[in-house]
Structure 1
Amino acid sequence: MSLTKSLHEGFSARAFSQRVALKGSEPLDRDHGDHLLNPELDALIAANPLRDAAVLVPIVDRGDEASVLLTLRNANMRKHSGQVAFPGGAIDPEDDYEPEKAALREAHEEIGLEGRHVEVIGRLPRYLTTTGYSITPVLGLVHPPFELTPNPAEVADVFEVPLSFLMDPGNHRRESRIWQEKERFYYTMPFGDRFIWGVTAGIIRTLYERLYS
């Protein structure tokens, strides 16, 4: 069976992995981020040094229908409380400044996902934020069976969303709100009682544009 044909078999983890392999030769040097929908934020992002961070984009192998593992941040968190997020955080010296090591470490610390269950298969372009981070999304296939033990200090819940739902542009809403007296645009992807927006939705949109559009 040809690679091209197999790419249209649906949303299995295998098909996802093939898409990543096909796009792997494309450059990662074009940064994505809040500034793409809001060009006026370029100056704001450039005005301050950005701290390197990484998130794990966990694609769970559920047979023909892969899913994406997401967390709901604890409502008591100092930043981005109560928001849907990928497991991740700042890249520390103990990670040898490697995004993959940081993403796997954070996933283990936040939700108890052991690295032996994760097959790292690639990256997305860096995502720059107005909150001062340069985030490298690390793509990983998560192979069941696995157990999760969320850290209650950081994570209120862990849930899965079908990859097919998130890769359907019909589920991507472009919305806006007034921020610092200007209209700021962003994506949202409501799923049941979960409201995915902000950086998380931006990274998901980047995943769609890179692999599925």
Structure 2
Amino acid sequence: MESAKACRILVLVSGSGSNLQAVIDSCDDHLLGEVVGVISSKPTAYGLTRAHQHEIDTSCVIARTKESRSDYDARLKCAIDKYQPDLIVLAGFMRILTDELVNHYLGKMVNIHPSLLPKYTGLNTHQRAIDAGDNEHGASVHFVIPELDAGPVILQAKVPVYDGDNVEELAQRVHEQEHAIYPLVVKWFSQGRLKMESNQCYLDGQALGPNGYAAD
């Protein structure tokens, strides 16, 4: 019997690419997917180096002076389509995407956000959790929709917030969980188990709750 075709995974980065590395390592562990390309918004992003170390093709789409978001995203779309991805993984890609681009890839684009969504959309999530006196914080993997950080949650991981925590300590705790849950979501998608329909996540045909998958 012919083996199933590997899911073509494209990862978008702007920085160190630690979540990219976690996905690459999972692909090496029979993920049923293959990272076919990495696109960066910054030519100095270490994520590009990680890709080169694994002989993965890379592209840079760098914003031009006074370029509109729509013009940038038109160029980004051309770069994305070159790889013919089945799944687009946002891994620290520091751009707010236009509605037109997001809708074009709706159901094929996922993101990881460093908070327990719907709490703390946007930036500075770790400091905001500390300032609020939260006793738990975490990360959420979600499908991308036009509204920022508002797509249906697929999976979350929680970490404790300790008295005296600073941003760096809390961020490190969250990053460790990100590296565990993001590859798992990519695996589910690559296996054909995960999909989004009408702004609702389904895993193995079962609708997920507002906080995503919950183990029994």
The TM-score, its normalising length taken from structure 2, stands at 0.24
Higher-strand-fraction structure: 1
Which of the pair has the greater relative contact order for Cα pairs under 8 Å at 6+ separation?
1
